[in-house]
Copies of this chain bind each other. A is one copy, B any other.
Amino acid sequence: MRDPLLTENYNKLIEKYKQIVILNSIDAIIRWDMETKMPPGAFGLRSQQLALLSKIEHSMSIDPEIGVLLERLEKHPDCQNLTEVEKRNISLIRKFYDEQTRLPEKLVSEIARQQAIAYESWKKAKLTKDFAIFKPDLEKMFELKMQSAEILMEPKGVKTPYDAMIDFFEPKLTQEIITKVFEELKSGLVPIIERYAAHSEKIDFSVLKRRVPVKVQEEVSKSLAKFIGYDIESRNARGRIDETEHPFTVGYYDDVRITTHYHEDNFISSLYSILHEGGHALYEQNLKREWMYLPVGAGCSYGFHESQARFVENIVGRSHEFWEYYLPELKRITGDTFADVGVEQMVSAVNVVRPSKIRIEADEVTYALHIIIRFELERDLFAGKLKVGELPALWNQKYEDYLGVKVENDSEGILQDVHWSHGYFGYFPSYALGNIYSGQILQRMEKELAKWQEYISKGSFKEVREWLVNNVHSYGNLYDPLILLKKISGEEITSKPFLKYLQSKYSKIYG
């Protein structure tokens, strides 16, 4: 029998962490409310509420008692008798605690202040299409994040400052690994784009512009939620759908809410938002019940979360089989709006390949190139190979080189994303890693669930969902992403399956 003291200290540590998890779930509801229900006049009060929650969370996270408990557990002679899950929980709390405590308070508050300042100047710069307004604040933000990256290199055991940034979002991924897999991805995507972008010009998109009233789109949302098994209606429902400017998913286990945006002249936007956010939501809802409130009871990484969203949105939702099932459904819900439309027409319309300047409007194929551009710039910035002032020109050059599009001004170029104003460096790669992971996950699923497309075409997502639950969701955060990826796919990280999936889909659509 192991030392009861070991168990006692472990339980104490877990209880402390549980409080932080619950506090975060409160914060999530408050943020959701702000975007969906809050009366507009409440903005000032809400800022105070969020600041207080963040202050309380910070003080709970740096509680020295956590450090003491961690040390006791890590140095305990019996610590090898802990279960795999217990060990993982301890190591995740260690990682979190180091991230929270290693940075000097002064630096933390300087970053917080700079976030507010940089966000304001970014907004102004974007409005006036003038990077010069944002430049000094971005420089300052970059300097502060560089400082924190340098401090965190040692506790995180990474080789470069940028690796320390990436590690927040994709633990143990490095710029070296990402560079390799993104190069592979880029060289695979370019010919696909070259080949199918021309085809896309011939496609008739007008079907996607037919007017669908918001009330009807709400019915579409409900039917999609039902299809994927995201329960918003039963007496045990753990989800709900609301409308926001930008769609998002927020929540934890039994309270996971998604949002969408209805455009009456672009119904497909909400349709795919529901599937995308629904994919995120299923991941959160299907984490192992007994891991609730534990560090392992969480998604594996930002990239893995994105992989689940894209799996539902793209791999399932843009498939021929999905539209075989869903087009009649859509016709039923929308009356005679789409009476004349056929499955092929819909499938080609939603699978267009069209290089563009704006990331969030990009299609499935070109999307990753937007990410690769951002990754390369961040990586070289942190390596000291380029300066903040050089970003706009380099950005525009890469858009021309990789996507063949000409950026006309900073607003549609370097200023389009909010991330850097918040200091979120190292975040972008996760989006494209999500594509890569989803390809590897699909490759494995096709071996084990050969008839998955048949199920989808019959309107049953259940088999796919159960496979994802058993092979992805239920692992929670038990492993770092590359290890989980290997458990699932049997392989190291590689872009090949994602590229193969695209090739196969597009060759079927365009012959």
Binding site for B on A (CB under 8 A): 19, 22-23, 25-26, 29-30, 33, 37-46, 48-49, 52-53, 56, 231-232, 235-240, 252-255, 257, 293
Contact = CB atoms under 8 A, between A and B. Distances in A.
Contacts of A52: 19, 22-23, 26
A270 to B, nearest CB: 20
A150 B22 CA distance: 36
A254 B49 contact: no
Contacts of A22: 45, 48-49, 52
B45 A252 contact: yes
Contacts of A46: 255
A136 to B, nearest CB: 32
Contact of A41 (B44, B49, B236): B236
A39 B253 contact: no
B254 A41 contact: yes
Contact of A29 (B30, B232, B257): B30
> How many copies of the shown chain assemble into the complex?
2
Contacts of A41: 231, 236-238, 254-255
A336 to B, nearest CB: 26
Contact of A254 (B19, B37, B42, B56): B42
The DSSP consensus for interface residues of chain A is helix
23 contacts: A22-B45, A22-B48, A22-B49, A22-B52, A23-B52, A25-B49, A26-B26, A26-B49, A26-B52, A29-B29, A37-B37, A37-B240, A39-B232, A39-B239, A39-B257, A41-B231, A41-B237, A41-B238, A41-B254, A42-B238, A44-B254, A48-B293, A56-B56
Contacts of A232: 39
A239 B42 CA distance: 9
B39 A237 contact: yes
A445 B474 CA distance: 66
A29 B52 CA distance: 14
Contact of A45 (B37, B38, B240, B255): B255
A236 B44 CA distance: 12
Nearest to A26: B49
Contacts of A25: 45, 49
A56 B29 CA distance: 17
A360 to B, nearest CB: 26
Nearest to A242: B37
Nearest to A23: B52
Contacts of A236: 40-41
A30 to B, nearest CB: 6
Task: With a 10 A CB-CB cut-off, give which of A38, A232, A255 has the most chain B CB atoms.
Answer: A255
A253 B29 contact: no
A357 B490 CA distance: 71
Given A45-B254, A52-B19, A254-B45, A237 B26 contact: no
Contacts of A40: 235-237
A43 B236 CA distance: 10
B26 A255 contact: no
* Nearest 6 Cβ contacts at the A-B interface: A42-B255, A41-B238, A39-B237, A41-B236, A42-B254, A22-B52
Contact of A26 (B30, B38, B238, B240): B30
Nearest to A46: B255
Task: With a 10 A CB-CB cut-off, give which of A38, A45, A240 has the most chain B CB atoms.
Answer: A45
